Structure 1
Amino acid sequence: MLVTAFKGNRELYDLTANPLLIRDGLTLEHFTSLLSNTFFLTWLRNSFVVSTVVTLITLGISVPAAYAVTRLRLPGQNGLALGVFLAYLVPPTLLFIPLARLMASLGLLDTLLALILAYPTFTVPFATWLLMGYFKGIPKDLEEAAMVDGASRLRALWAVVLPVASPGLITVTLFAFTLSWGHMIYALAFISQSTQKVLPVGLLTEMVRGDVFFWGPLMAGALLSALPVLLLFAFLNRYFVSGLTAGATKY
């Protein structure tokens, strides 16, 4: 991907050239073509908006849900926990047709809101299941001590449990963001207007026309779309390790 993005078309389609080397020098023509002839920057913005909002929704739902299942005495609690996991196992290939009809009935096709509402169907169940396992490993004594000192359960969750569970929260954040960033099926089924597409669908539909693959711009777009995720992992990896250390100290 990296080599192809910076390789000229003459060398790119030369069957005698080494595919892993650039012989004729670096070129930025594929990046120029991508930025000037497509809606790449619009797709990039759409992906950021969808992935960020979906991540916030996932955290907002999965954290209280996982905490309630692991800490509160609820009727049918074990069945609820199993149901959360089974919901994650339902593949999107079975859901995109009924979800597409639902979005059409709501008038949300060709809008980013359709993706924002659909993506949590696969991010929330997994995030809830993951956090349930993490919360179970946190001693109840920590929050009970806070509640004895006068804190409410919500305050104990915010000030005591969540800081200890920071590695799990960061893992959920990475999972929700990256899965939303690269998801294809719902975005391909719900969005057809070029200016509303997200990166994976935009690159697939605009850079592949029939049996013609525009490999240079396609690889340039794939390289640029991979950078935000790589930077996110590089940035949060430090906090993930520090969160593990902090959690071990508090234990």
Structure 2
Amino acid sequence: MSDAPLNSAIALSRTRTDRARRWRTIRPLLTVYLPVLPFVAFALFPLYFMLVTSLKSNAELYDVGSVPFWISRGMTLSHYGLLSADTPFWDWFANSLIVSLSATVISVVLGVLAAYPLARMRFPGSDSFGVAVFITYLVPPTLLFLPLTSVVNWLGLSDSLWALVVTYPTFLVPFCTWLLMGYFRTVPKEIEECAMLDGCNRFQSMFRILLPAAVPGLICAALFAFTLSWNEFLYALVFVSPAELKTMTVGVFSELIRGDIYYWGALMAGAVIGSIPIVIAYVFFLDYYVSGLTSGAIK
């Protein structure tokens, strides 16, 4: 008997197997990466445009005939030098870092202390209070800075970084509380009950049992608070006047826009440097951020 039909069947089977293997390799590219590519390009384009603009010479930057999307006459770092030499940019950077870190720590601590009883204890009005906390977050900051101005002046904190450290938690604590409430509810109560049976009180069970299990939620809340504090503009503009105490968002705006003259290269250089801490934070903690945000949202 000839082995030709058997060899043909084996060859056909191998061909189909190879095609299936190649399709399994190519399919993610066609069904996942290519559809997402336009959204990635849309999200990254502002960063690309800022970087390109900050590296262009003034001659090319103000030439209406040049293409704005790439560099055709050579790169320059003069705009970054202008920031460092002619403005107290790094003082602004340090001020923003101090205020953002301080407000983030305060907001997360207060958010934990507020979210734990709302998520774990049952008392009259607990559900209504939780909704009220979230509604408080929805109040626009533009409606709050006028009464907060009176509070800051009464405390004697005007024209100081403490004015921002005190006022930023007014819009950070409500959302951190709401987010942590949702995440705390995803942690089983039984592990805390076991700890309390072994002799822990409420605070000990919270700090030793619940918080280590809720690290993704805490990181999510901290990233959110840090991002909002870092990018905040209105309170920093109203409450702090001295140039050396300004945050980066206000300092770059006030010093590099003079009347109808815009120093676009230096503005974009400041925006690029200002984006670095946020990018670093999200690169290192993105998985925790997504886990904490989705777990708190679906509960």
User: Identity of paired residues, percent?
Assistant: 49
Partner of 1:120: 169
Relative to 1, partners in 2 of residues 1:119 and 1:156: Cα closer, same or farther, differing over 3 Å?
same
Where structure 1 has 5 or more consecutive residues not aligned to the other structure, the ranges are none
Partner of 1:53: 102
Q: Secondary structure at 2:144's aligned position in 1?
A: helix
Relative to 1, partners in 2 of residues 1:99 and 1:240: Cα closer, same or farther, differing over 3 Å?
closer
The amino acid across from 1:195 in the alignment is E
Q: Deviations over 1:28-61 (max 9, x none)?
A: 1000011110010000000010000001001110
Partner of 2:81: 32
The amino acid across from 1:54 in the alignment is A
C-alpha contact (below 8 Å) 2:118/2:130 kept by paired residues = yes
Partner of 1:7: 56
How far apart, CA to CA, are the structure 2 residues paired with 1:89 and 1:129? 12
1:134 to 171, 183, 188: 183
Partner of 2:8: none
How far apart, CA to CA, are the structure 1 residues paired with 2:220 and 2:169? 16
Task: Using the TM superposition, name which of 96-105 and 111-120 deviates more.
Answer: 96-105
C-alpha contact (below 8 Å) 1:164/1:243 kept by paired residues = no
C-alpha contact (below 8 Å) 1:55/1:173 kept by paired residues = yes
C-alpha contact (below 8 Å) 1:166/1:240 kept by paired residues = no
The amino acid across from 1:169 in the alignment is L
1:97 to 121, 136, 146: 146
- The within-5 A match list for 1:221-236 is 221-236=270-285
Q: Deviations over 1:140-178 (max 9, x none)?
A: 111001111222221211122112211111110100000
The amino acid across from 1:204 in the alignment is F
Partner of 1:178: 227
The amino acid across from 2:51 in the alignment is L
Q: Which runs of 4+ in 1 moved over 3 A?
A: 238-244
C-alpha contact (below 8 Å) 1:38/1:206 kept by paired residues = yes
- TM-score, normalised relative to structure 2: 0.79
Asked if residue 20 in structure 1 is aligned to residue 69 in structure 2, the reply is: yes
Q: Deviations over 1:192-230 (max 9, x none)?
A: 110110010011111111121110111000100100110
Where structure 2 has 5 or more consecutive residues not aligned to the other structure, the ranges are 1-49
- The within-5 A match list for 1:198-237 is 198-237=247-286
- TM-score, normalised relative to structure 1: 0.93
